[in-house]
Amino acid sequence: MAIASVMAVGRGATDWLLSRVVARLKDEDVRVLGALRPVAPGRSEEQCNSDLLLLPDGPVVRITQDLGSGSQACRMDAGALEAAVGQATARLAGQGADLVVLNKFGLSEAEGRGFRSLIGEALAQGVPVLIGVSETHRAAFETFADGMAEKLPPDEDAVLGWCRMMVDMAPAASGADPFTQKETRT
């Protein structure tokens, strides 16, 4: 089982780090599935809305809902999140992947929902998982990972190194013979 977490300090810093890592891996023809928060230069951070870019190439899914100006309730759209999880899981089953990357282990995952099923399915297939984790949900993630996760430094080269090593060691999750030697990526 290959799972690692990373946390960069600062609002949106983990999103930026994971987006750069995924872009570089895709340039190396690594088949990356999962979900990231879309980041773009000059994009204002909307505190009230949250979107997920389903990897490798979309769509972007809004996972929050507008509850009106006076609402104090949670804006998470559980149905939209579960639909995104279902689509990502179907992609893993249909296309396979070399690596699954998720923007965060959040409240939904801490409570036993969200992308936990995708994480479990990927690990069961031998596909390594990289996930952003905040201090808020670190304890829940550690409990979930049961001591099996590696904590990576928030350094792009270090994260890329782990990803490359895991991808080179893991059998492709696409129905390929796991005993066949994988082509080494450079």
What pLDDT is stored for residue 104 in this prediction? 93
What pLDDT is stored for residue 159 in this prediction? 98
Q: Where are the domains of the chain?
A: 3-39+50-66+74-169
Q: What tokens does 136 get?
A: 């808020």
The average confidence (pLDDT) of the chain is 84
Q: What is the mean pLDDT of residues 122-132?
A: 96
In angstroms, how far is the first alpha carbon of the chain from the final one?
Answer: 23
How confident is residue 50, by pLDDT bands cut at 50, 70 and 90? confident
**47 compared with 57, residue with greater pLDDT:** 57
CATH architecture group of domain 3-39+50-66+74-169: 3-Layer(aba) Sandwich (3.40)
Taking only the tens place, the pLDDT of each residue in 69-101 is: 665 545 667 788 888 999 999 999 999 999 999
How confident is residue 116, by pLDDT bands cut at 50, 70 and 90? very high
Helix spans in the chain (H): 13-27, 78-95, 107-110, 116-124, 135-145, 156-169
pTM: 0.83
